[in-house]
């Protein structure tokens, strides 16, 4: 029986049920693969956090600008009212 006729998991050099695949030169259940996958997932999660933080900071900055603009407009309105009140007071004093 040639190796082509044998089922893959019973090839010479393989130990069935052990997770060893000597033909590939690595363990099928190699913990390094899990560790690499874990590191990749952590990097992706960290990148998503950085992206989310940047979006949050951008939104916060935009909100800050809007608030600043409203405060500026309110300040201008108060100045205008003060100016009008001064003019009215000046007119009343001159009468």
- Comparing CA positions, the residue from 69, 71, 93, 89 lying closest to residue 81 is 89
Residue ranges of domains in the chain: 11-94
pTM of the model as a whole: 0.42
pLDDT tens, residue by residue, 23-75: 555 555 666 677 778 888 999 999 999 999 989 999 999 999 999 999 999 99
Q: Which residue has the tokens 């600043």?
A: 68
Are 27 and 19 in contact, with CB atoms under 8 Å apart?
yes
């Amino acid at each position: 029986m040639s190796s082509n006729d044998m089922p893959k998991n019973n090839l010479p050099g393989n130990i069935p049920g052990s997770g060893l695949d000597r033909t590939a030169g690595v363990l099928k259940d190699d913990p390094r693969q899990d560790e690499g996958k874990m590191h990749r997932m952590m990097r992706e999660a960290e990148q998503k956090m950085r992206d989310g933080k940047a979006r949050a900071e951008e939104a916060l900055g935009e909100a800050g600008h809007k608030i600043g603009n409203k405060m500026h407009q309110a300040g201008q309105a108060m100045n205008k009212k003060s100016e009008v009140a001064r003019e009215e007071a000046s007119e009343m004093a001159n009468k």
